[in-house]
Amino acid sequence: MSGKPLIGIPADRRLLGAHYFHCVGEKYINAIAQGADAIPVLIPSLGDGIGLDELLHRFDGILLTGSHSNVEPHRYGGPASAEGTLHDAHRDATTLPMIPRVIQAGMPLLAICRGFQEMNVAFGGTLWQKIHEVPGFGNHREDTSAPLDEQYGPAHEIELIRGTALHALAGQDRLTVNSLHSQGVQTLGNGLEVEARAPDGVIEAFRAASAPGFAHAVQWHPEWKFQDNAFSRALFAAFGRAAREYARKDHV
The question of whether 181 is a catalytic residue gets the answer: no
**Does the annotation mark 113 as catalytic?**
yes
| The three-state (H, E, C) secondary structure of 12-59, written as one string | EEEEECCEEEEECCHHHHHHHHHHCCCEEEEECCCHHHHCHHHHHCCC
As a whole number of angstroms, the distance between CA 241 and CA 108 comes to 9
Contacts of 225 (CB under 8 A, 6+ apart): 152
Given 113, 118, 181, 204, the catalytic residue: 113
Is 167 known to be catalytic? no
Cβ pair 204, 220 in contact under 8 A = yes
Spatial separation of the C-alpha atoms in residues 222 and 228, rounded to whole Å: 10
User: Which one is catalytic: 118, 142, 195, 223?
Assistant: 223
The catalytic site residues sit at: 113, 221, 223
